[in-house]
Structure 1
Amino acid sequence: MGTRERGDRHRARGPLNRARLALARRPLAVDAALYLGCAAYALVLTLTDKHLGFRVWGACAVVGYALALAHTCWLLLTAHHTRSRLRSRWTGVAAIGIVGMLTPLVTLLVRREVSGGDWTDDENLWSAQPEVWVIERSASTLLATGTPYLDIAGLGRAPDVYDYTPYGPIMAVFGLPRALSNGHPVIDVLTDARLVFLVVAAVCVIASLRLLRVSSVPLRGAQLAVVFPLTALTSTTAGPDLAIVGLIVLATALAAADRPIWSAIVCALVASAKLIAAPAVVVLAFVVTTRLGVRALARFTAVFITASLLVTVPVLVVDPRAFVEHVLLFPTGLAAVASPAASPLPGHLLASTGTVGTVLAFTILAAAGLAVLIWLIRIPPRTAADAALRTAVGLAAFTMLTTATRFGYLVYVSVLLGAVLVLRSRAGVPLSTTEPDSDTVEGHVPLTSS
């Protein structure tokens, strides 16, 4: 028996691969459990959440996930029937997309235009989360003053949380269509920042798949990246994180396709929109070095720094105090108003116990960051799937352990893990040795007719 064959058998006996084999043998049962859990989450949100948008999404999503669950149960009960389009596992995904994502989005878009609800403290009136109207406001402010940030000291009143724009200057670009619209109701609906976020995310994903020549998408990857509640809820009520993670995926694809200059430019844009993308830049620097060497890393770094300065310095020069107040002080809790990012995740819970807890939280976060860095050094990422996995782990650690964070930031993790499954499938790295029976279920969808 050859060394390679013995190694393959040894890996197959590992607990992770045994779990993969077990899941691959029962894809429909996994689908059913996933849809049931998602439906339960949506139902709880519908009945208990204070935000109007969350409840609207939850009510629609319960129906969408229930339809997907019913379809999956039908497939389980009629496993020996002949193959047909209706028997595709993608039918359930489509039901979630139409009923659980598109329907609540259209409902909230229309309701926002008809009844308003922006710029109020009453969450029961919000047809869009505050980040939507704050980003749209930042675009109008950019056009009027040359900076997307309000002068907090010059407001003539005590500032509130909605006066702050805790994003980099590039984020204002997503609000420009609304800022440039003529105020017609239909135009206002079509230029809602949520639609801009979704279009950018979709274009980035399609470009990434074509760039890496991905011919088909595994269903499990689509479930994690697209119809999982974190993504579905975000796409309906807010959306900036979807555009950011879409740009991260595109930058990852460019780096893995040996286009370090373009990857650096996209990295500069996404990091200049939201600093949470910074860990991805570090990971992609390792990808470039591993694939192309130190000289390519030097070019990547130089272009990244140059592009970052080009988009940041003009805004910084206009009003440096406002830039520091909004982008640096507010997210860290050092501004005149505290950031509302305080989901009960481990880092925040530790910090809430006092100074010792805060120090402990930052210590654990630093240790997690060091562990990821050692992982990058010892096993450098070479493929897009490698990079997406390491970025997902880094952002998961940051979201869970930082002292001021939001549960919704885990959308980065779910989307990137879905991307890992898609890109690993493309790279020919099997997730298991057992494929679903193609006569009863379809686990991939082709991107082209070929």
Structure 2
Amino acid sequence: MTKNLERYVRRARRLRDERHVWAGCALVALGLALVSDLGPHRVWGVTAATGYAAAAVLARGERSRPAARAVALAGAVVVPLVSSVAAGLGQLEVAVVERSGRLLLETGSPYTADPAVVADVNPYLPGMAFFGVLPGDPRWWLGGVFVTALAAAGLYRTRLLALPPVALPVAVGGTDLPVVGLMCLGIVLAGQGRSGRAGLVLGVAAALKWTAWPALPVALALVAVRRGGPASARYVAVALSTATAAVLPFALSDPSGFCRSAIAFPLGLTDIASPAASPLPGHLLAVYAPGGRVIALALLAAGALLLAVSLVVRPPGTARAAAARLALGLGVAMTLMPSTRFGYVVYPLVLGALAYRMRQPRSTPAVLSPEVAAV
């Protein structure tokens, strides 16, 4: 009888917590709709708030939880994505990716040699332009790569996809999604000792955005602990050759455009103001403190150095530890970058979810989930 009571209490707590989660998400979405000056965000906020509120009402019993999650996913992702694509609404990233794809086809380079306004700037690495070459709205491909990579990593969860930091960029256009999805898959493959595949996946991620590059040394440390020197060398060779083959030709053919857009602009070293200006510590330092940009960059470099030292002193021995280390490092970097935005929270959130998903009881040996084992 006591055990039955304990099970009942645990079930009631799970249901209560899930209702609270969806209710909190509804408040976040509604707040964004009220305060944002971006049309796509306001549309998403109203639609998502409705879906989250309905999910909070539905999540009253064990049998209704799947339906509540499906409603949350539909209201926060499916409906706003389809309606936004049909209406041609999207945040600036969508237009940038589409424009870089057109430039790649027309000129052979995804960059403008002398960008004058923020819409001319392509702050991504050359690989991102291929999402603009593919047919249809880039959001289908960006979200598709993200979901596919998460599924291959054993992390396909409705609740994760429906949370605002993930659902919003899926619907309005987020270039960080395929990057973090590939990072998760690369870490899982490295933890399995599949060094060549891990190098290929992370090399592709590194060809999309600079934010993927911290995953390269973390995965290297993991492969070195799990498989030793030869596997590490294979990983490095595949990862670097993949990233180099995707980036170097464009950097050499258009060095001015590449340096101005992909290097100087993200570091805030151009006259064009970046729209990534969320009031996080790094941005506040850069804007309000004398010499604040230099201080913020110095702190960012110090954080990167500490991460590198930790990989040498205490390298991660499991994919879970590597994902947690990477989530922590990117979380710190997100707060210290001079040009930053709240949307970057998707990196520590998804990587942290991967670490949580792979947790194992201390009393039992680590066994990969069927989804992960099948990768």
TM score, norm. by length of structure 2: 0.89
Relative to structure 1, is the Cα distance of residues 136 and 23 closer, same or farther in structure 2, using a 3 angstrom cutoff? farther
Name the SS for the 1:103 alignment partner. Answer: helix
Relative to structure 1, is the Cα distance of residues 336 and 308 closer, same or farther in structure 2, using a 3 angstrom cutoff? same
Relative to structure 1, is the Cα distance of residues 374 and 320 closer, same or farther in structure 2, using a 3 angstrom cutoff? closer
Equivalent position of 1:206 in the other structure: 151
Count of aligned residue pairs for this structure pair? 360
Cα deviation code 1:220-247 (max 9, x no counterpart): x653x31211001111101221111111
In structure 1, distance between residues paired with 2:370 and 2:55: 21
Equivalent position of 2:18 in the other structure: 31
Instruction: Establish whether residue 64 from structure 1 lines up as the match of residue 72 from structure 2.
Output: no
Q: Displacement of 1:430 after TM fit? A: 6.6
In structure 1, distance between residues paired with 2:11 and 2:288: 43
Listed as ranges, the matches of 1:168-207 within 5 Å are 168-178=125-135, 191-207=136-152
Listed as ranges, the matches of 1:123-142 within 5 Å are 127-142=89-104
Structure 2 unpaired stretches of 5+: 1-8, 364-368
Instruction: Establish whether residue 160 from structure 1 lines up as the match of residue 117 from structure 2.
Output: yes
In structure 2, distance between residues paired with 1:272 and 1:143: 18
Instruction: Establish whether residue 96 from structure 1 lines up as the match of residue 72 from structure 2.
Output: yes
> Do the aligned partners of 1:23 and 1:30 also contact (CA within 8 Å) in 2?
no
Task: Provide the aligned C-alpha RMSD in A.
Answer: 2.5
Name the SS for the 1:421 alignment partner. Answer: helix
Amino acid at match of 1:172: A
Equivalent position of 1:429 in the other structure: 361
In structure 2, distance between residues paired with 1:27 and 1:365: 39
Q: Displacement of 1:301 after TM fit? A: 1.6
Cα deviation code 1:104-140 (max 9, x no counterpart): 111111111xxxxxxxxxxxxxx10111111111111
Equivalent position of 1:273 in the other structure: 208
In our comparison, the structure showing a higher alpha carbon Rg is 1
> Do the aligned partners of 2:268 and 2:274 also contact (CA within 8 Å) in 1?
yes
Equivalent position of 1:149 in the other structure: 111
Structure showing greater relative contact order (alpha-carbon pairs closer than 8 Å, 6 or more residues apart): 1
Cα deviation code 1:288-322 (max 9, x no counterpart): 11101123222222222222221122212321111
Amino acid at match of 2:280: L
> Do the aligned partners of 1:332 and 1:339 also contact (CA within 8 Å) in 2?
no
> Do the aligned partners of 2:76 and 2:164 also contact (CA within 8 Å) in 1?
no
> Do the aligned partners of 2:199 and 2:239 also contact (CA within 8 Å) in 1?
yes
> Do the aligned partners of 1:167 and 1:275 also contact (CA within 8 Å) in 2?
yes
Stretches (4+) displaced over 4 A: 22-25, 445-448
Q: Displacement of 1:349 after TM fit? A: 1.2
Amino acid at match of 1:199: G
Listed as ranges, the matches of 1:64-83 within 5 Å are 64-72=51-59, 74-75=60-61
In structure 2, distance between residues paired with 1:231 and 1:266: 21
Relative to structure 1, is the Cα distance of residues 23 and 152 closer, same or farther in structure 2, using a 3 angstrom cutoff? farther
Amino acid at match of 2:51: G
Equivalent position of 2:5 in the other structure: none
Amino acid at match of 1:52: G
Equivalent position of 1:55 in the other structure: 42
In structure 1, distance between residues paired with 2:49 and 2:209: 31
Amino acid at match of 1:308: A
Q: Displacement of 1:361 after TM fit? A: 2.9
In structure 1, distance between residues paired with 2:361 and 2:257: 48
Amino acid at match of 2:124: Y
Equivalent position of 1:317 in the other structure: 252
> Do the aligned partners of 1:261 and 1:299 also contact (CA within 8 Å) in 2?
yes
Percent identity of the aligned residues? 36
Relative to structure 1, is the Cα distance of residues 381 and 447 closer, same or farther in structure 2, using a 3 angstrom cutoff? closer
Name the SS for the 2:344 alignment partner. Answer: helix
Instruction: Establish whether residue 110 from structure 1 lines up as the match of residue 42 from structure 2.
Output: no
Name the SS for the 2:345 alignment partner. Answer: helix
Name the SS for the 2:134 alignment partner. Answer: helix
Q: Displacement of 1:142 after TM fit? A: 0.6
Instruction: Establish whether residue 384 from structure 1 lines up as the match of residue 319 from structure 2.
Output: yes
> Do the aligned partners of 1:222 and 1:418 also contact (CA within 8 Å) in 2?
no
Picking from 46, 57, 60, the partner of 2:33 is: 46
Relative to structure 1, is the Cα distance of residues 23 and 386 closer, same or farther in structure 2, using a 3 angstrom cutoff? farther
Name the SS for the 1:39 alignment partner. Answer: helix
Per mean C-alpha deviation after superposition, the further-off stretch among 260-269 and 160-169 is 260-269
Equivalent position of 2:4 in the other structure: none
Amino acid at match of 2:20: A
In structure 2, distance between residues paired with 1:355 and 1:446: 54
In structure 2, distance between residues paired with 1:23 and 1:280: 37
Cα deviation code 1:134-177 (max 9, x no counterpart): 11111111111111111217xxxxx1100010000000111112
Name the SS for the 1:143 alignment partner. Answer: helix
TM score, norm. by length of structure 1: 0.75
Structure 1 unpaired stretches of 5+: 1-21, 76-82, 113-126, 154-158, 179-190, 432-444
Relative to structure 1, is the Cα distance of residues 169 and 23 closer, same or farther in structure 2, using a 3 angstrom cutoff? farther
Cα deviation code 1:192-231 (max 9, x no counterpart): 000111111122122222xxxx8xx7xxx653x3121100
In structure 2, distance between residues paired with 1:47 and 1:446: 43
Q: Displacement of 1:419 after TM fit? A: 1.6
Listed as ranges, the matches of 1:224-235 within 5 Å are 225-235=160-170
